[in-house]
Structure 1
Amino acid sequence: MGMASHKGLLLGVSLCALTGIVDPAWGQEAPVKAAEAEIIVTGSRVIANGNNSPIPVTVVTMEALQATKPSSVFDALLDVPAFAGSRGGTQSSASGNQASSNQINALNLRGLGPVRTLLLYDGHRVPPTQLDGLVDANIVPQMLLSRVDVVTGGASAVYGSDAIGGVVNFITDRKFKGVKLEMQRGISQQGDAGTYRIGGAFGANLFDGRGHFMASFESLHNDGLLARQRPQFAGRWTVQGNGSQANPFTLVSNLVNPAYTWGGKITGPATNPLLNTSFNSNGVLSPFVAGAKLGSLASGGDGIWDTTPSLIPMTNQTQAYGRFDYDVSDALHGYVSAAWTQDRAFNLYGNVNSQNLTISATNAFLPSAYQMQLAAAGIKTFTFSKKYAQGLVPPSNVNNNTSNVLINIGLDGKIGGFKWDLGYVYNQVRLQTLSNYTFNNGRLAAALDAVVDPFSGKTVCNVTLTNPGLYPGCVPINVFGPSSESQAAVDYVGSRGEFITRLPSHDLGFNLAGSPFSTWAGPVQMALSTEWRKQSLSLTSTSPTIDFAPLNCTGLRYNCVTPTATNLGSPTYNGAVAPRPEVGMTVIEGALEANIPLLVDKPFADAVNLNLANRYARYRAEGNPDLSAPARVTRFNAYTWKAGLDWHVSKALTLRGTHSRDIRAPNLYELYQTNAVTFSNSNTDLLTNSNLTGAGGLVQVVNGGNVNLRPEVASTTTLGLVFKPSAKFSLALDYYHIKVSDYITRINGWDVASQNACYTGNAYFCSLQVRPGSLSDTSKANAVTRWYSVPVNVAALTTQGVDVEANFRSTLVSKPFSLRALVTYQPHIYFVQPGVNRQDFAGAVGAPASYTAGAKFRAAIFAHFEPSEQWALDWETKIRGQMHQSPDATLYATPNTDVPAVAFSNLTITAKLKGPLAGRAQMYLNISNLFNQSAPITANYADQGSPGLRGGFALGDDPVGRYFRMGARLRW
């Protein structure tokens, strides 16, 4: 729950050290002595002076964030080197259609994964905004923020689950008075990716100062880049090879996928006289030119590539916020606040494709000359593959519409020497995902079976003649050519999938803090907190048949798998998402924290303080991935603790360290994702050396949750020092080591490692496959009939690194000048999973999206200069070190897959207006990527089969180029 009330002007706290000043490079407020302000430091409920915190924390003011990155708070935070692999902004990889938004801004501390970074808003936990448990930082209203606190160490003992990587706390200016307005317009040097932002805020005291009201409104728009309109993407970069010494990973450009053509390619059977021909023109076959084969792709030839993935989504965001405070008495204060955010995003993904369709040799749209050749060869059906780009079939595209309502009601006050607060937070998230074009598999199968009506002579669907009630209004589709489809047929076979996720939550908490007694070194500060919260999840889908009632093949001669005893059949919709009736989790927690002074005013010890905290939580969740089975209750407990020491050796030197046990509880989706059935024959059963069932059908693949999950447990150690010889200079250094055990990762039963683990005696991995007989039977008749894919507590993650910060503050030609440098070196992020080679994600671009980290070396340098009272200059240079291809050290890559180090610089020029608006208005020009630095070209070997769809740059780099923002701020 929430922190105690913040009062007074808050001190600035550095990333690695709590220096007690706000550096002008990141804010314009004057320094304040600790005695003049009461501060509650994020990361503790009892430490009232930032200089005494044993855990690394940074406080960044809104003025500082706006000076360097006026686009958004999220964009500015990404330049803090502690963040690595955060989701948001530009996309280095396109994603498929799911019920979660791929356009969210999810902060990722240390590259441990966004689900391991806890977000707070005014000290209150921000619940998930996505089906997969992630939190979108976009929902936090920005106009009235005063600062952002970032804790870069484990904090579960203070705040509960998810704070393994750290905590990000967005804090409002609760005493804001007056009016402020902001307007901003942005455009790239290429004349695209336009943005605008407008906002206003109002605040005033009421009832003779006992009450206070404030409100804000903000609207943001981004045109996005709905095509990859930059030269580096014209090369369609992919990484080819298999990582062996004989065939290492190699960065290659301009490859095509020979499995498809724009007009459609005939792919079988082997006896087909038209095999390997393509409809390069509507209705006319040409020999398919394969090109020079390179893995699954080819150089040259008639193959194709994806033409449509977006670089930046188009977004529209609206935020409104209001808060009312009232002092009932000198010892009792009440408040209520409400925030509403609506976020709309639109994105293009890859071109829609059809692979290995079964087409009748007498299809009415197939020219008669080709029908005759097939008849002469005794061919009754043939297989056909096509990617749609030049015709009427739209690319895969998705709208993500998120609305969020957050209400916070609370009381706080004093009883004797103790402070208390009682608060309730209600949050409701509704995420609508519209998959705007996907194939309805039943309609597509019916439309592909085109025949001639013997009575009218018109081309119709076969089912129209045989059973018109099955698919009324069926429109036959002509797929033989780049633009052969009619609009009516495209509309008929297409479907708009709608998935609505709801995530309501309730959070009630009570905190009591004060000093019950003193030691020889001073008062002992203690805090007791309790919390009850409930989180729910539900998902409705237009595709409920994916799980229980598969596509009925009645009347469909082709492209529909007839159900058998071992196979449920094909789902109705292509790319469907399984529904999830409501499930819920309740948590009851209690925590105790104490800050104990041990020494004061001793030789080599100006002060020594011991900080202790522990928390106990009980979790209860109810649901079942199998909707045909009764709900199951899942219970688990979590115990976390922290011990920290803060040793002020002298006024110039402070030593600090912490050790903590932190947790991340499994979220509702990991526990209860509905079992979704798909079908495949591409996964080899190593026991029987087969990829088909004994009955000859496709193998069921069941993807769902796991009710047996338990919390991830992290052991975190930080050791640091702060050296501050004068008010002008400070240097801080922190070492951290984090080990996460019982790490939750998804395991596929068909993976080689999973099968080998089963066949060597691990019973759990054997539960991920179903077969008719025992493991002693290696005959084809005992082939697997079902595979499972589930999240499991089976892995471990370990990382370590060093943070360095230096601050210098002086004058240049007698004018205010300051420098700040933030540096992170994170040499390793080891991921260990049984049966799989150890992975090191630090600096690896070739990693799954859920493990995206960042370069080993990351730095940001800030400079602030005021040449006159009317002008200010802010400079930022962001640096990342060299990156490499594979996280697996046993795999080989050529040097051209390495990604060179790069730096991006930003400049902001601020002018304070004179005349009647003096001191109230300023205008600014921000130039991002000042030197128009190109993002170094790279790609991920995991995407080697998708030329044009992915690749081009490393996540976190800037592929847009030089960008201009102009804006104005007014304050009364």
Structure 2
Amino acid sequence: MKSTFRRHLLASTLLITGSALASPALAQSIATPEAGTIDQSQAPGDGEIVVTGSRIQRTDLQSTSPVAVVAAEEFALSGAINVEQVINTLPQVLPGLTGFSNNPGNGAVTLNLRNLGTTRTLVLVNGRRWMFFDTTQVVDTNTIPQFLLEGVEVVTGGASAVYGTDAVAGVVNFKLRNNLRGIEMGANYSLTERGDGARYSFDVAIGSSFDDNRGNVTLFANYTERKPIFQSARSFSASAAGEGCIVPGSTNGETSIGQPFPSGIAVGTCLARGGQLGFVPQGSATGPIGTFVAPNAGGVATTYIFNPSGGGSRVFQDPGDLYNFAPANYLQLPQERYLFGGYGSYEITPGVEFYTELSYVNNTVPQELAATPTGLANVPLFINSPFFNAQTRALLTAQDAAEAAATRNDGYALSTVSYRFLSAGPRNADQERSAFRILGGVRGTIVDNLNYDLFYSYSRTNNTQRQTGNISSSRYRNALNVEFVPGSTTQLQCRDAAARTAGCVPINVFGSGLADPAAVRYVSVNSTNLQESSLKNIVGSISGSLFNLGMGADDVGFAFGGEYRDVFARYTPDTFLASGDVLGFNAGQPTQGGYDVKEVFGELRVPVVRDGFIYQLELNGAARYSDYSLQAVGGNWTYTAGADFAPIRDIRFRGQYARAVRAPNVENLFGGRATGFPAANDPCSDRGPAATQTAALRALCVANGVPANLVFTRAVQPNTQIQSDSGGNPNVQEEVSDTYTVGAVIQPTFIPRLNVTVDYFNIEVRDTIGTIALGTALDLCYNVTQDLNSVYCSYFQGARSSQGALGVGQGGQNPLLGASNLGTTKTSGIDMQVDYNVDLFGGRLAFSYLGTWLDKFRSRAIDAIPVQTTIAEGTFGLPKYRHTTRLTYAAGPAQLSFRWRFNGKTQDTRIDNTYGLVNGVQTRIGTNPAAISRPFLQAYNYFDLTATFDASDQLTFNIGVNNLLDAKPPVLGGSEQANTFPSFFDVLGRDFFVSARLRF
């Protein structure tokens, strides 16, 4: 078996960062697996490659930017069928949306580097932009063929000078195998210890060369299916839980839910009364038996719940009458994916090679929530309805008698009615996403050491979301508002004649399961939402070498070129959802827009010395100018500069500075507008504090359109609420970031095959895009900045009526509280990596470690309030320390691999570490840890074990178990999905997998 040992060596060195990139010998062995794969983005050359983060070809894999590399074997050793199952274990990555994101979620899987956000993480495939799926222009990694990966490279920090917008937190580059020979077939099956959540995947790839190796082509196909797991299948998620006061020692160890002590004791007085802070059974007050509000004997408005059989009612009891909505929700989302594609190249003439890529994905991921809870206020309940008995009629009669004169004693009681529509089934949202991408290009050599590359790609994604289980608010109200059929004292009809014509049927929600199926069909509405997005991308570049400085180093390298991108996205909600007449899923507004950008870029690599008075010195830099069709963005520069210095062979120091940007996406710019009526005080009216009504404020109000004689009067704001809009903002500008990295790479010659890397990173993102509340915007414009040119005053420009009032209802325009450049986020820390392998007992032992220590993560949501800062390091998702470690021993045809995933302790997400000045003292103004029963989450350890066996050169088996010790996730209460964070913590429990790969 000529390649067995080599394959085991590769598989044992699984997670390598920049230290491996510093070692040409080791890096070449890792970057050149059995099939002889290379980076598909490189032009033909003698061993030259392109490292992620640069367009310049080189003969080694060194990089001045910290780069983490995940070898393809890691996916096999993890039993992964989707890329996020491995990428999300890296300490640099916080899971975005995953296969456990039921609510919120949209069926996609996204990546989030450094917790700076999915929109600030650029995802590439073979060094090129990949297809995005919605108006936020984020990549769904479900579209990436995991089984064809050669490896994944993760670059820390800004890389906009090389790749353009979005590369703020960094770049994740998925590199696919090229020049595949023969046929490869693979199968993977996973199952939890509890016998549920089965996942299986089948793939085939066929590769061949032709015409005396002038051309090659690879075709591939994959089918993946994932079965659902409901929250009812796990004890920690089967019941909705909430913060409360419990009897000390009454908790179940696995669920952490205890016995309430006693009912009604507030959390704030729990300890003083002898109780213990903990979780109590909770749920929704809206259940499958209807409730209504009426005065009790003392005249106090009280919630009553009907008897299951209907007619009579009693006072609602909390928690006894709460509905446990948890079991019906998905814990693991089902998935079905078909993926097809191919890529290839052909040398037309020497120095001219045509290449192409094609990919198509159809991915279906349903979401399921408990049946729709409904609550309508001011519903006229027909007191003489046969749905009610005498006792209930008496309550409703008292309610009718207490109403305003216009409706008092009219035979209808205006009440709030709540009911959960189990009869309409659960709320389902089936996300079917079809995406395709086609690329064609030409590359080659102009003359020696001068290469070119030109390609065009087009990608489009269409998503169809089919929702069931929605309830029409207007139809439901019509079905509740009933009267006797003329001439009858028992038969009911809907009061509204137009509703009757439209098929309205009286509905009985005043009990359990009493609603007429025809009435349920009348109020139920299915909806279909459509999304479409497309990307056109043209990139042309020339790269090569210029001259040599004559001190033993490589030639000076360069690359320059241009790029054009055209972005479009559209969201078309169902007319029912767009109308807002919906109970169940959230309403949505149409969004449509796009833009284009023209760019020029250049890059320079200057090797100064090699094996001279110092071992090595290299300088590099890059710059890009981007011209956007967006007037607010216009043109901007991004740039980077770095140095690589090795005084001796054994140690190398590197540093990099990068300026990056994130242009606003389609959602930021053109998001559909929705109108609201928030309560706020206009400082230009008489509703603001008298102390702020200064001459400066008066002048500002007049300059903003308030008549001088009406300033500080009620005419400027007649009502406590101000009509306003929210949505996209075409005037939003780009985010800007600065990244500094400084590191050392240690490769001692006296310890062969040992690589140690330590890199410090510091990233600051300014002008972060967000939205602002109306009251905050009014205060910041008129009382804080007092500058009409500020972003906070821009909301009110031209919005005032002739009386100085805001809002269409007052004769003006609605302030548009769209996306704006508001805040700043900073993060810093240290990435550490060690890998080492050694011959031992006739085999090879390999150790790899990748860890991150987080120094700081600070943010200001609004820069205009500099005294308010959120300190996030050590909070959920941002532990001070995380690592992934793997130990592998390979001997002959077998190997055993052990992985340790560690996440340090964090605060509960409900704790708000926002600090501000209170009476001149920096004080916590967010939620205090003392009010939380479990303010800190313990450190979590996950252990995984995999055995690999080469039955022959052609056939390899893997069998393994993830979460070997069956670690349980922490219970955090019903405010979180499934009482925990299923995308971050392991919710499957002990999980087994087996896979096989056949090559011939």
TM above 0.5: yes
User: What number of residue pairs does the alignment pair up?
Assistant: 889
Q: CA deviation at 1:168?
A: 1.0
Q: Of 242, 251, 276, which aligns to 2:303?
A: 276
Cα distance in 2 for residues equivalent to 1:233 and 1:585:
44
Separation in 1 of the partners of 2:55 and 2:606?
A: 13
* 1:233 match: secondary structure: coil
Deviation at 1:236, TM superposition (A): 3.0
Aligned counterpart, 2:290: 264
From 770, 776, 780, the equivalent of 1:745 is 770
Partner of 1:792: 820
Query: Please, what TM-score do these two structures have when normalized by structure 1?
Result: 0.84
Summarize the Cα distance change of 1:574–1:328 in structure 2 as closer, same or farther, 3 Å threshold: same
Cα gap change, 1:31 to 1:449, in 2 (>3 Å)? closer
State the alpha-carbon separation in 2 of the partners of residues 161 and 777 from structure 1.
40
| Mapping for residues 598-677 of structure 1, pairs under 5 Å | 598-603=608-613, 605-621=614-630, 634-677=632-675
Residue 523 (structure 1) aligned with residue 555 (structure 2): yes
1:103-151 deviations in Å (ceiling 9; x for gaps): 3211111111111110111111124212222211111123322221211
CA distance in 2, matches of 1:437, 1:525: 61
1:589 and 1:481, CA in 2 relative to 1: closer, same or farther beyond 3 A? Answer: same
Cα gap change, 1:475 to 1:803, in 2 (>3 Å) = same
Which amino acid in 2 is paired with 1:583?
A: G
- For 2:976 and 2:637, the matched residues in 1 are separated by 48
Instruction: After superposing the two structures, state which structure 1 stretch, 486-495 or 185-194, moved more.
Output: 486-495
Matched, 1:961 2:983: no
**Distance in 2 between the 1:610 and 1:302 partners?**
70
Q: Does 1:479 align with 2:515?
A: no
Q: What amino acid sits opposite 1:306 in the alignment?
A: F
Question: Cα RMSD between the aligned structures?
Answer: 3.7
1:268 to 1:477, Cα distance in 2 relative to 1, 3 A: same
Residue deviations 1:541-565, cap 9 Å, x none?
A: 222784xxx6xxxxxxxxxxxxxxx
Instruction: After superposing the two structures, state which structure 1 stretch, 230-239 or 426-435, moved more.
Output: 230-239
Q: Which region of structure 1 is more displaced relative to structure 2, 444-453 or 66-75?
A: 66-75
Residue 330 (structure 1) aligned with residue 350 (structure 2): yes
- Percent identity of equivalent pairs: 23
How far apart are 1:580 and its partner, in Å? 3.4
Select between 365-374 and 190-199 the one with higher mean Cα deviation: 365-374
Distance across 2 between alignment mates of 1:315 and 1:454: 53
Further displaced range: 897-906 or 759-768: 759-768
* Compared CA separation, residues 930 and 376, structure 1 to 2 (3 A): closer
1:320 matched to 2:317? The reply is no
- How far did residue 374 of structure 1 move? 2.8
Asked if 1:201 corresponds to 2:231, the answer is: no
Query: Per-residue deviation at 1:47?
Result: 4.8
Determine the structure 2 residue equivalent to 1:564: none
Instruction: Describe the SS at the equivalent of 2:114.
Output: coil
CA deviation string 1:548-589 (max 9, x = no partner): xx6xxxxxxxxxxxxxxxxxxx64776554453642210101
Counterpart selection for 1:711 from 714, 723, 734: 734
What does residue 418 of structure 1 align with? 450
For the 8 Å contact 1:305–1:947, the answer to whether it is kept is no
Deviations 1:61-109 (A, max 9, x none): 2123312343332211111111124321334x722xxxxx523211111
Aligned residue number for residue 896 of structure 1: 934
Report SS of the residue matched to 1:872: strand
- Post-superposition CA distance 1:505-547 (Å, at most 9, x none): 211110100112332334210000210110111222222784x
Distance 2:458 2:644 in 1: 37
Asked if 1:75 is matched to 2:74, the reply is no
The residue number in structure 2 matching 1:906 is 944
Q: Deviations over 1:568-621 (max 9, x none)?
A: xx6477655445364221010110000012233333x21111011000001114
Per-residue displacement from partner, 1:215-257 (whole Å, max 9, x unpaired)? 000011111223352122245344579x999999x97422435
- Cα distance change, pair 235–901 in 1 and its aligned pair in 2 (3 A): farther
Which residue of the other structure, out of 881, 898, 916, is the alignment partner of 1:875?
898
Q: Name the counterpart of 1:857.
A: 881
Question: For residue 383 of structure 1, what is the amino acid of its counterpart?
Answer: S
1:186 Cα offset (Å): 1.4
Change (3 A) 1:772 1:164: closer
CA contact (8 A) 1:511 1:527 kept: yes
Query: For 1:105-120, what aligned pairs fall within 5 Å after superposition?
Result: 105-120=109-124
Match of residue 972, structure 2, among 938, 941, 954: 938
Does the 8 Å contact 1:938/1:951 carry over to 2? yes
Kindly report which structure 2 residues correspond to 1:716-795, keeping only aligned pairs within 5 A, or say none: 716-725=739-748, 726-750=751-775, 755=779, 758-762=782-786, 764-765=791-792, 768=795, 788-795=816-823
Cα deviation, residue 672, structure 1: 0.5
> Paired residue for 1:580, among 590, 610, 626?
590
Question: 1:285 deviation in Å?
Answer: 3.7
1: distance between equivalents of 2:976 and 2:858? 31
Structure 1 residue aligned with 2:466: 434
Asked if the contact 1:927/1:962 (under 8 Å) is kept, the reply is yes
SS of 1:896 mapped into structure 2: coil
Shift of the alpha carbon at 1:490? 1.7
2:242 and 2:681 mapped to 1: Cα distance? Answer: 26
Cα distance in structure 2, aligned partners of 1:769 and 1:344: 43
- 1:455–1:245 distance in 2 versus 1, CA, 3 Å: closer
* Alignment CA distance shift 1:911-1:31 (3 Å): closer
Distance 2:146 2:35 in 1: 24
Counterpart of 2:354, as a letter, is G
Query: Normalized against structure 2, the TM-score is what?
Result: 0.82
| Partners of 1:362 and 1:371 within 8 A in 2 | no
Mapped partners of 2:577, 2:901: distance in 1? 49
Checking the alignment, whether the CA contact within 8 Å between 2:679 and 2:720 is kept in structure 1 is no
Cα drift, residue 707 of structure 1: 1.0
3-state secondary structure, aligned to 1:491: helix
SS in 1 for 2:667: helix
In the alignment, which residue of structure 1 is the partner of 2:437? 406
Moved more, 498-507 or 952-961: 952-961
For residues 769 and 814 of structure 2, what CA distance do their matches in structure 1 show? 23
Report deviation, 1:760.
3.8
Which amino acid is 2:415 matched to?
Answer: T
2:442 maps to amino acid: L
Provide the C-alpha distance between the structure 2 equivalents of 1:247 and 1:44, rounded to a whole number of angstroms: 59
Tell me, in whole angstroms, the C-alpha distance in 2 between the residues paired with 1:33 and 1:374.
77
Distance 1:814 1:311, change over 3 A: same
- Aligned equivalents of 1:904 and 1:197: distance in 2? 24
Distance 1:394 1:765, change over 3 A: farther
Q: Secondary structure of 2:397's match?
A: helix
Q: Secondary structure at the match of 1:90?
A: coil
Whole-Å Cα distance in 1 between the matches of residues 241 and 64 of structure 2? 46
Separation in 2, partners of 1:821, 1:85: 20
| Secondary structure class of the residue paired with 2:382 | coil
Cα distance between partner residues in 2 of 1:156 and 1:801 = 21
> C-alpha displacement at 1:711, in angstroms?
0.8
- Determine the C-alpha separation between the residues in 1 that align with 2:159 and 2:270: 45
- Whether the 8 Å contact between 1:226 and 1:348 is mirrored in structure 2 is no
Contact 1:226/1:347 (8 A) holds in 2: no
